[in-house]
Structure 1
Amino acid sequence: MTTQLPPDFADWLRLREPADAAARSADLVDAVRRRLPAGRPVVVHDLGSGTGSMARWLAPRLPGPQRWVLHERDPDLLALAAAEPVLAADGSPVTVQTRDSDITRLAGADLADAHLVTASALLDMLTAGEVERVVAACAGHPTLFALSVVGRVEFTPADPLDAGFTAAFNAHQRRTVAGRTLLGPDAARVAAAAFRRRGIEVAVRSSPWRLGPEQAALTAEWLAGWLDAAVEERPDLAPAAEAYRRRRLAEAAAGGLRVVLHHDDLLAG
């Protein structure tokens, strides 16, 4: 995957990390624990690791000792991920290794020693063919994919323009970039079907962001990106978008806006 990340992408990942942590399915983590080997170090491969938020969230919920292998193309993100120490649930050490890795070219050999494969907010940025490749590489290992957008957003209070902007954003998520047609909100469903075709059981849980007054900064940043993507897809929405943006940001600043942004988590294997 060759997408160029914006220079402030690490800041965005840090801003969203508490909402991600609150949203991910604890129920699936309980199931993960039952699939891990006892009496020896657990090896976890994290795909598209970003700044390491999945390791910071999941490692303290799993027994130790653990070794995490972080797969990421951006060396600056890998450096940030490796710099922050993590402990397992029982206080055992967690070692972190970083790997410059193109997830779209992942092969089974890259995950040969894994007891668990994880990813967070990754699948919707892949194509159908890339998801097939990732699933094929992960088959045979318990795999936890968290926080794949599913195309549903709920605003309180509601606005007549919500549905139009949501549809435009979802179309943008499915856009074709440099010959790659992204799955966007279809990704979790496509990944689950790919596992099931291989005879692998899949459990799916809802993992929505729930944004209220305490997350006003995140809401404002997310809303700006959400509207920009919708207008990029549908330029005719630009005049309405500016008034909508001002109205929604004022509601968020006043503590009167709540947003539920739906995702799915899935556990395979």
Structure 2
Amino acid sequence: MRKTATQNGGKIPAQPGPKDASAATATSASASAEPVILGAGPVVRPGERATVRLRDAGPDDPPRYAPEWLELREGADAAARAHELLDPLRIRLANLPGKAGLVIHDLGCGTGSMGRWLAPRLDGAQHWILHDRDPYLLHFAAVASPRTGADGSGVSVETRRGDVARLTPDALAGASLVTASALLDVLTREEIETLADACTGAGCPALLTLSVAGRVELTPSDPLDEEIADAFNAHQRRTGLLGPDAITVAAEAFSEHGATVRVHPSPWQLGPAETALTAQWLRGWVGAAVEQRPELREPADRYLRERLEACQAGELRVVVHHSDLLALSRPTGGAS
């Protein structure tokens, strides 16, 4: 499915339809029993896949991520992304052969936060092609997309429902750039190989941000921190997904295809100003750990309750480590 979207900017609208996603943001002790926003946090249940995937997804499948969760994390994502990778990306884009404007594919775009962050930082006319399996999220991404780039040039958008596992160099023909955010860690090794092959085969760079690195720092510390983190990381690797190993696998895959690869840290820094996000992230993080190791349930309930109390009191700080990857493939036109 493909359509061109009208851009009017503005706030992401509430998700229509009967899928009730409670935007629970309370961080009191009792909040540990409240439901997590649908799709919130880092939980990937067995058989679930990233939003960009259509394989095994029926028309009535619930969305992988709720707009409420994606909106809640957007500010932390924007603050975390590695600005250090922008200059080498801009240089490469400026030197692409025969480009009247940029064509940018955003994989697993969600509500379009990557476009809202990156488009205003790039010069020249831009046409964004937004890929996701969820038509609701595609709609939100399109209507809330930026209208101009860094130099005032126009930004246009189209949406596609698509599957990263089916990407080919032909599908990316004419692409200037492939982007994704929080995607690599919910892919398999085979899917990352497919992505690297498609990008390098098309000769376009890839900016792949906010892949979980498997490390979390909580202040003040708790004796259960490391055990919860280890269980969560094991959960992320279930059903063949790469979780915290994804950034290393992706760097190797792109390098083996001849790309120049740069990796830079992009940690979330969560403090008293981000209590709503921290509370939702905590529920998802601890929930995944308990799902992986049910014997942790009793101590984890205590742990979560105390962590949420500290969060509400403004006494908790969390660093959730991520990594951003820039892969500069050799353009197919022969330019270096």
Name the TM-score class by shorter chain.
over 0.9
* 4+ runs deviating over 3 angstroms: 2-8
1:46 to 106, 109, 130: 106
Aligned with 1:88: secondary structure? coil
SS of the counterpart of 1:111?
Answer: coil
Quote the offset at 1:156 in angstroms: 0.4
Aligned residues between the structures: 265
Which residue in the other structure is 1:78 paired with? 138
Contact map agreement 2:63 2:134 (CA 8 A) in 1 = no
Change (3 A) 1:173 1:94: same
2:127 is matched with 67
1:107 shift after superposition: 1.2
Contact 1:37 1:115 in 2 (8 A): no
TM-score of the two chains, using structure 2 as the length reference: 0.77
Show the counterpart of 1:159: 222
Rounded Cα–Cα distance in structure 2 between residues aligned with 1:106 and 1:8: 22
> Identity rate of aligned residues, in percent?
57
Shift of 1:8: 6.3
Given candidates 209, 217, 235, the residue that maps to 1:146 is 209
User: What residue is the counterpart of 2:197 in the other structure?
Assistant: 136
Question: Greater Rg, structure 1 or structure 2?
Answer: 2
What is the distance in 2 between the residues matched to 1:85 and 1:196? 32
The TM-score, its normalising length taken from structure 1, stands at: 0.96
Q: Distance in 2 between matches of 1:244 and 1:267?
A: 37
- Aligned-partner SS, 2:170: helix
Do residues 94 (structure 1) and 161 (structure 2) align? no
Structure number with the bigger relative contact order (C-alpha 8 A, sep ≥ 6) is 2
Among residues 304, 311, 316, which one is paired with 1:252 in the alignment? 311
CA distance in 2, matches of 1:160, 1:105: 44
Contact between 2:65 and 2:110, CA under 8 Å: does it hold in 1? Answer: no
State how far apart, in whole Å, the 2-side matches of 1:199 and 1:43 are.
22
- Do structure 1's residue 213 and structure 2's residue 272 form an aligned pair? yes
Q: How far 1:168 sits from its partner (Å)?
A: 0.3
**1:108 Cα offset (Å):** 1.2
Q: Residue 98 of structure 1 aligns to a residue in which SS?
A: strand
For residues 211 and 77 of structure 2, the distance between their equivalents in structure 1, rounded to whole angstroms, comes to: 11
Counterpart selection for 1:237 from 276, 296, 309: 296
Aligned residue number for residue 231 of structure 2: 168
Q: Which digits, 9 at most, give the CA deviation of each residue in 1:190-223, with x for residues without a partner?
A: 0000011122110000000000000000000000
Q: CA offsets per residue over residues 95-116 of structure 1, 9 Å max, x none? A: 0110111112211111111111
Please report how far the alpha carbon of residue 7 of structure 1 lies from its aligned counterpart in structure 2 after TM superposition.
7.6
Match of residue 25, structure 1, among 82, 87, 98: 82
- CA shift, 1:37, in A, is 3.6
3-state SS in 2 of match to 1:31:
helix
CA distance in 1, matches of 2:182, 2:241: 14
Deviation by residue 1:136-175 (Cα, 9 ceiling, x = unmatched) = 0011211100000010000000000000000000000000
Is contact 1:148–1:263 with CA below 8 Å preserved after alignment? yes
SS in 1 for 2:138: helix
Q: Tell me if structure 2 keeps the 8 A contact 1:49–1:120.
A: yes
CA-to-aligned-CA distance 1:207-264 (integer Å, 9 cap, x gap)? 0000000000000000000111000000000001111011000000000000000000
1:121 aligned residue: 182
Aligned to 2:17: none
Q: Structure 1: state its 5+ residue gaps.
A: none
Deviation at 1:40, TM superposition (A): 2.1
Which residue identity lines up with residue 90 of structure 1 in the other structure?
D
Q: Distance in 2 between matches of 1:8 and 1:107?
A: 25
Compute the RMSD of aligned alpha carbons.
1.3
Distance 1:7 1:37, change over 3 A: closer
Tell me, in whole angstroms, the C-alpha distance in 2 between the residues paired with 1:164 and 1:212. Answer: 22
Give SS of 2:248's match: helix
Which structure's residues are more often strand, by fraction? 1
1:105 matched to 2:162: no
